[in-house]
Copies of this chain bind each other. A is one copy, B any other.
């Protein structure tokens, strides 16, 4: 079984186009490298309802959800409260998190800063040293709260910050903790290029797709100007497989290469 995950990006600034997402894309590459299948990535506004509904919907699809954004001290930071409400928990001041905040802000700490220590009951601090990652295991033995209906017993939420530099650092910190994140050994990726039009290779491609059900095959045309400034279209065909099926990625690529003959090449330098 390939492990799955979903990403919930939170922030009006993403929906208004002021910010182009980096966190979701970075995390997607990390998940892919670890052989985790990302099944959905969704961006919602800074409201309790939107965050809560999206979270429960994603948790009904996969036991592993990463959120990013909305964990600061201002009015538009409502992620912790949204997660608490959606999962039927109260917000509880976490003494360790309070200590981290007091160490950071010193004697001048405000009540608003301290709200960042009010975490959904049962939240664990991971990757400490600086700002921790918040992890909420919905079915953990420590928690007396049952997971919401439709959510698996082993469901887990990682609550990441929205600031890209911090978010990326926290994901990298999680990766350094042995056994923290699933690892299914990554995906094998093989690539073929062709100047055939997608519609001309579709027939051969369909055959290879049918013969290699464990391989995820994608076809991506890209136009680039040649030396004369003419647009030249090269289709990049990717073959990916994970777990025991890894060797089949190469087999699928070789099958299509054989079918297309001299019209296809593997060297990316000519892509």
Contact = CB atoms under 8 A, between A and B. Distances in A.
Interface of A: 11-22, 25-26, 28-32, 37-46, 50, 54, 72-76, 105, 108-113, 116, 163, 165, 187, 197-203, 205-206, 209, 216-223, 238, 240
B76 A218 contact: yes
Contact of A75 (B29, B40, B109, B217): B217
Contact of A74 (B17, B18, B22, B219): B219
A113 B113 CA distance: 58
A interface, over-half SS: mixed
A17 B32 contact: yes
Nearest to A105: B199
A199 B199 CA distance: 56
Nearest to A18: B238
A139 B41 CA distance: 29
A14 B206 CA distance: 22
B109 A199 contact: yes
A224 to B, nearest CB: 10
Given A43-B42, A110-B200, A76 B217 contact: yes
Contacts of A13: 218, 220, 238
Contacts of A37: 15
A74 B54 CA distance: 31
Given A75-B206, A112-B200, A112-B206, 9 more contacts: A12-B218, A15-B41, A17-B29, A17-B38, A19-B220, A21-B21, A42-B42, A74-B198, A105-B199
Contacts of A187: 16
A25 B16 contact: no
Given A12-B218, A39-B45, A112 B50 contact: no
A260 B111 CA distance: 18
A65 to B, nearest CB: 14
Most chain-B CB neighbours within 10 Å: which of A14, A45, A72? Answer: A72
Contacts of A200: 108, 110, 112-113
